[in-house]
């Protein structure tokens, strides 16, 4: 009788453990599903604007329907220009602050660019020569196919001045991506955009008589 009770107890305990395990698995799967669903709905909500018509009817519109394509292109251009001015224009006093702020506007491409600065000891060279680096943006080309498919390209000249000497070189980019999806507007990134796949493709020296 005691052996029978022991077997029954062990069986009940095993069933309880299996039941608890199933509950945990079901709860975890439900949580993951809810999180994914909420993320998708929030992203959809970011792309929707609710408008109240004069008749009192509610209308749903996409964000690009409310903000004109031209205005959106200008916003993208501002973001790109902000990055260029911060990352390619500085002196020994604002170098650290400028590059830190610029890295808030770009993805992994910015890390690679900043690593190049560190390898070239840019800050030390600025201090040694008491140099000032300036950027002149000649052209920003923006192509917006839709709100999540944005490309850009920049033509610019960077000039380094030290005392009475100066040297200018091209600072032209490739055609790179500007990402909106998944990027939150912040004080450091007011446009809510992120530059990706950015590369400088032309750093050739510019002669004064060619400018």
pLDDT digits (tens, 9 = 90+) for 145-193: 877 789 999 999 999 999 899 999 999 999 999 998 889 999 999 999 9
Both ends of the chain: CA-CA distance in Å?
Answer: 102
116 versus 149: the higher-pLDDT residue is 116
Q: Please state, rounded to an integer, the average pLDDT across all residues of the chain.
A: 81
Mean pLDDT confidence for 26-55: 56
Contacts of 187 (CB under 8 A, 6+ apart): none
Asked if 202 contacts 175 with a C-beta cutoff of 8 angstroms, the reply is no
160 in helix, strand or coil? strand
Mean pLDDT confidence for 104-129: 95
**Per-residue pLDDT at 173:** 96
CATH architecture of structural domain 67-210: Roll (3.10)
161-169 contacts at long range (C-beta below 8 A, 24 or more positions apart)? 161/131, 161/132, 161/133, 161/134, 162/129, 162/130, 162/131, 162/132, 163/129, 163/130, 167/205, 168/205, 168/206, 168/208, 168/211, 169/203, 169/204, 169/205, 169/206
pTM: 0.68
Asked if 181 contacts 148 with a C-beta cutoff of 8 angstroms, the reply is yes
Asked if 173 contacts 190 with a C-beta cutoff of 8 angstroms, the reply is no
**Per-residue pLDDT at 10:** 54
- Give 77-90 pLDDT, tens digit per residue: 999 999 999 999 99
């Amino acid at each position: 009788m005691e052996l029978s009770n022991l077997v029954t107890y062990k069986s009940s305990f095993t069933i309880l453990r299996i039941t608890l395990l199933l509950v945990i698995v079901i709860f975890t799967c439900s949580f993951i599903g809810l999180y994914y669903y909420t993320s998708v709905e929030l992203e959809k909500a970011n792309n929707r604007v609710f408008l109240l018509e004069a008749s009192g009817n509610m209308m749903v519109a996409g964000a690009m329907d409310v903000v004109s394509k031209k205005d959106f292109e200008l916003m993208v251009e501002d973001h790109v220009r902000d990055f260029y001015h911060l990352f390619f224009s500085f002196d020994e006093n604002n170098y650290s602050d400028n590059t830190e702020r610029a890295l808030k506007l770009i993805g992994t491409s910015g890390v690679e660019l900043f690593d190049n600065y560190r390898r070239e000891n840019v800050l030390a060279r600025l201090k040694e020569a008491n140099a000032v680096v300036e950027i002149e943006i000649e052209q920003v080309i923006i192509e917006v196919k839709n709100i999540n498919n944005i490309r850009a390209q920049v033509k610019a000249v960077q000039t380094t001045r030290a005392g009475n000497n100066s040297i200018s070189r091209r600072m032209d980019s490739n055609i790179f991506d500007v990402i909106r999806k998944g990027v939150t507007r912040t004080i450091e990134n007011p446009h809510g955009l992120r530059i990706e796949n950015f590369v400088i493709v032309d750093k050739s020296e510019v002669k004064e008589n060619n400018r």
